[in-house]
Structure 1
């Protein structure tokens, strides 16, 4: 079984600050770091380190060769990452001393994918495989349609939130993942309650309050509490969680176990600086869960 991930690849520029800047304010950074990021890359690294065969579908510019090396070293198949004339996407991330962040994205190569490239990546895909999607690339709806035609499980993270983009993907979605704010925004856009959204399952992440999985067909809810840790940087925590949930389902774990494993992974990840490179391994997660009892 393979997890395919149509996802962004970003160069993350981290600026560590005393506090997040206000309008018109100029701050000196305590320090600076450059790392691999992007929701897609983060999720792919998390899924691969969780133990799933993971194939990333995306695009970089010529300036992003080192990003592929980091992905590959993490165990991600990068044979379907295209090199395009645009610059690699990047994010400027401000992180304060309370681990809160503020992010500005530049899409770059992430919006230069061609449908033929995705079709080639799916050539050997089967109904036992999974597709992860989010809103940092182009061709999200078209890729969801291709996956549905091949009967893949489709996991869609509705971020960055765009009401129309979400509505376009919902007919092809098996698991819709949102945070509490995104869930409220989608309910407002559709003028229905979250429990009425027409997908098989919804997963709502709630930060330090954990997550809720809801079977939309029978109304059953599974609560997954978060683990108490002292965070250093919360950037990418949701991506870590989604990557581990996708891997857990791919590996055949019960939903409860997949969620608990994902909660442990994200708890570890927020105690580290960075995004993709901060994703924990399956062994680290197992050790953490043993320590938790």
Structure 2
């Protein structure tokens, strides 16, 4: 068995680890309807773990902070992270809870619907985050999502700010209207990176993909330092102190968009930890997301560094 890495991370991810159970269906069922599927697959996932693998495969040293159950699912998720070189010493085993599970349906148009059962992810707390201070202090970039309890996310963001990290907040899953994200959390993040539905949930405004600036401006008014709106196949839009950036996205034959947003986050983080300017980092995020959508699964779909760099060279050389 491959020995667990012991590294000083460049990127630290504080978030979820899930086992993904993926059902392939011709179309997603309507309420009360039964649809026959063609396959059931099992993949390592969780937004946090996916983003950790995405960044690691692009050459960054990455540490994961989170929790799994003392069960076979937890064993599988830790082994998957270690295979990609992710430091797992700050992933704690919780004997009283099962490992998180995501139930995912993917249709013939590569669109997905997801139900998450948090399990041990729901037990991550500020005290555990504090125990991971050595990883946070060593890193340059922090990735956060909302699949662990909000107090833990807040604690991580505060520690990230205290130690001078670039903090990326992926506000997914979107918070319900009766529990909006505190402005303090948005203000602690250097980049807030919702997709269209999450941006609408955060601001109460619909996103016009042809002109997302009004929604980005609304996020800045709520406290975000930079608002980055992911637009799926249309690319992404970024508004912040450096100015306004728009990437049209890369055309690919999509197979499964389940982890495209997580790949985007990993690509963005990998670029920022290298010191790339915001516009170039946006390109890296779009490229990683596009490549991940061309294959099934979550962590398995994340592009390797050689493939990613070849993709960028090829697309930059295209007329």
**TM-score under structure 2 length normalisation:** 0.86
Q: How many Å separate the matches in 1 of 2:314 and 2:11?
A: 29
Aligned counterpart for 1:90 among listed residues 96, 101, 111: 101
Q: Shift in Å at residue 183 of structure 1?
A: 1.8
Q: Shift in Å at residue 2 of structure 1?
A: 1.6
Q: How many Å separate the matches in 2 of 1:290 and 1:202?
A: 27
Does 2:189 correspond to 1:164?
no
Q: Shift in Å at residue 128 of structure 1?
A: 5.7
Q: How many Å separate the matches in 1 of 2:136 and 2:251?
A: 39
**Match of residue 246 from structure 1:** 269
**Match of residue 186 from structure 1:** 202
Q: Is the 8 A contact 2:62 2:87 kept in 1?
A: yes
1:75-108 deviation per Cα after TM superposition (whole angstroms, max 9, x unaligned): 2111100000210111110011111111111011
Q: Is the 8 A contact 2:181 2:202 kept in 1?
A: no
Q: How many Å separate the matches in 1 of 2:252 and 2:69?
A: 37
Does 2:285 correspond to 1:274?
no
Q: How many Å separate the matches in 1 of 2:182 and 2:83?
A: 32
- Corresponding pairs, count: 290
Q: How many Å separate the matches in 1 of 2:237 and 2:304?
A: 24
Q: How many Å separate the matches in 2 of 1:7 and 1:235?
A: 17
Q: Shift in Å at residue 38 of structure 1?
A: 0.9
Aligned counterpart for 1:111 among listed residues 122, 126, 138: 122
Q: How many Å separate the matches in 1 of 2:11 and 2:313?
A: 27
Aligned counterpart for 1:140 among listed residues 136, 139, 153: 153
Does 2:78 correspond to 1:78?
no
Q: Structure 2 unaligned runs (5+)? A: 1-8, 206-214
Which sits farther off after the overlay, 81-90 or 113-122? Answer: 113-122
Q: Evaluate the alpha carbon distance shift between residue 287 and residue 38 of structure 1 in structure 2; reply closer, same or farther with a 3 A threshold.
A: same
**Match of residue 238 from structure 2:** 213
- After TM superposition, the runs of 4+ consecutive aligned structure 1 residues lying more than 6 A away are none
**TM-score under structure 1 length normalisation:** 0.93
Which sits farther off after the overlay, 195-204 or 74-83? Answer: 195-204
Q: How many Å separate the matches in 2 of 1:284 and 1:108?
A: 34
Q: Is the 8 A contact 1:129 1:153 kept in 2?
A: yes
Q: Is the 8 A contact 1:127 1:153 kept in 2?
A: no
Does 2:268 correspond to 1:232?
no
Q: How many Å separate the matches in 2 of 1:224 and 1:127?
A: 31
Q: Is the 8 A contact 2:180 2:202 kept in 1?
A: no
Q: How many Å separate the matches in 1 of 2:124 and 2:185?
A: 18
